[in-house]
Structure 1
């Protein structure tokens, strides 16, 4: 009975764990948000990055070549500006997500009645960043802890090692090292179901959906569905064409 209570307490502590934004060394800013039609429309990405830097963050666009020391994607936060639909009013807020898409922090909502979008967005962002500025962000040098996968906890609740298992280690081991000088290098951006791979333009080239294995994804490219698999320290997009297996090498920076 005591063991059951201890396991329940440990499980509750894992669920209740809250990550601080101070555990992340920089923020990645996308060039286009979900409600936008073009990259940096109304200079929203530019304004987001400027506000982040003003708040004390290191900030980079999603298509930027990251400097040395910033290549571990799970040490970074990913900013998303969200828009609330409102009658005769613009409402924006900012979400900070980790490398697995988990929301770490959500800002206050900025509001504006300005009719011109660029003016309204600036006013909304400035207001939303009031709550972010009040966090007094300062990187604490702590490596961001990654959430344990739910499957590990549910699969073997009676085994303590299953609760504290670190699936992230296997993910890191399975990830091939990309050649950053390759002109065809693609960059992985986290999504709710996996990742989207973008080129330097940036254009979405491929969409990935997670599977139970960290070295294999369901992949869709140009309407063709296949899998992206890690083999021999490289990634390969594999699919069938005319009943023949096609394997294409893909250079990805996660």
Structure 2
């Protein structure tokens, strides 16, 4: 009797952990912008971290608050939806990841990730990473996934175009108002400063204002310059990962921490760097960030996974 009870318990555990379908059968993962236990979208950057971890394994991902691409819409049963459950108690942060298929079946339920960190963000992220180890252990076959998200991005460009133009118009209007205030302010200019230099500074202010569209999440990695104007310790060919949003992309590092926020421009392969007077662009097979800092032109090379 005891042996049969033990067998039933083990059988239930196995069925709750993995349904038996291989993750290799799926190509896409939909990430909720807000999990049930969160108060705001991407609270503690858990949703961005989930997206980053799945992309690192080779899946093609998309947030659920964006219109589904035509490719995903045509292949709904190639899609998994990631669900993160918060099973924390008073002393331990606990997270479990569930992967749901188009038939609302649980294809995979991870082991419980745990953290003793008291700070919410660190604790949630540590527990999520630990839970994700169950997915990494499945050895997802990257050959079955189209690593490039180009087809998805193209189908979403038109959807974002009107919103981007609207936001840009608002930004230009705000910029004009700021420039009018600047130009109407009386300042005492030393005689040694030439009029041409003052005009050039005003132009730079206008360009910077016109490139700014909303509150900043930009993280400044460029602080120290040597006498020649080059960056001290600037990481070259640094690996970044692109996360698409309504206005363009966030480029994040492996933590993931936002390094650049890119705004779409009218040119292919060229983006404005939010909160910087500069651009992020492609030359040959390489991507570069180029902007002015402290009166010097800064240019750095990056390896970007789109």
TM-score by length of 1: 0.47
Greater gyration radius: 2
TM-score by length of 2: 0.39
